[in-house]
Amino acid sequence: MAQSFGLEFLPTGGPKWFTYAELQAVANNFSNPIGKGGFDDVYKGELGHHRVVAVKCLKNVTGGDAEFWAEVTIIARMHHLNLVRLWGFCAEKGQRILVYEHVPNGSLDKYFFPASQILSLDKQEVINLRSTDSLKPILDWNIRYKIALDVARVIVYLHEECLEWVLHCDIKPENILLGDDFCLKISDFG
């Protein structure tokens, strides 16, 4: 089935095809959520050699298998320092799961809009938020400038340099992740 969708053209050393059971083990039975959206739930997991990953379980996959496989093949062929790397995928038992590199500092919106995090919370929720270190400091202008340049570089890559041009269509702070030393990584670009 995979060959009919072009997976035979995945790059050598590209993403691994995981079983659902393997990803249950990787994500500790999906017990450590790190993100939730309208179309997916994301869990922290660990592959061998202590490689931390984000296990993204897609919900209500529309468009069928052809769309999922096309997305996997396109993402697997994209290589840029500022794109989140796809380590693997799963298509089993009706599940559609993508395994990405984990980006430790979270999304940009947590840094740009810290006040919005606390406006709708009561006092105890604010105390809990601060105690879990979920409230991020506001970024200085040098880091913001670097982030803006990196976003521009990724867009140029996706629109002009990629083997298959890709329009992101959803560039927003929630999809801009910050790694070590605030190295930017764009997610949700398939």
pLDDT digits (tens, 9 = 90+) for 128-185: 555 555 556 678 889 999 999 999 999 999 988 887 777 778 889 889 999 988 899 9
170, 180, 181, 188: which one is catalytic? 170
Residues of the chain with CATH 3.30.200.20: 2-101
Architecture of domain 109-186: Orthogonal Bundle (1.10)
CATH code reported for the domain at 2-101: 3.30.200.20
pLDDT, greater one: 43 or 11: 43
107, 176 contact by CB (below 8 A): yes
Mean pLDDT in the chain? 82
187, 86 contact by CB (below 8 A): no
Q: For residue 188, what pLDDT band results from cuts at 50, 70 and 90?
A: confident
Residue 3 has pLDDT above 50, yes or no: no
Q: What are phi and psi of 181, to 5 degrees?
A: 55, 30
pLDDT score, position 171: 87
170 is catalytic: yes
d(CA 17, CA 2): 10
pLDDT score, position 49: 85
Q: In the structure encoding, which two tokens stand for residue 186, read together?
A: 């764009």
pLDDT, greater one: 63 or 55: 55
pLDDT score, position 62: 63
Residue 114 has pLDDT above 70, yes or no: no
Residues of the chain with CATH 1.10.510.10: 109-186
Cβ of 185: how many Cβ atoms within 10 Å? Answer: 23
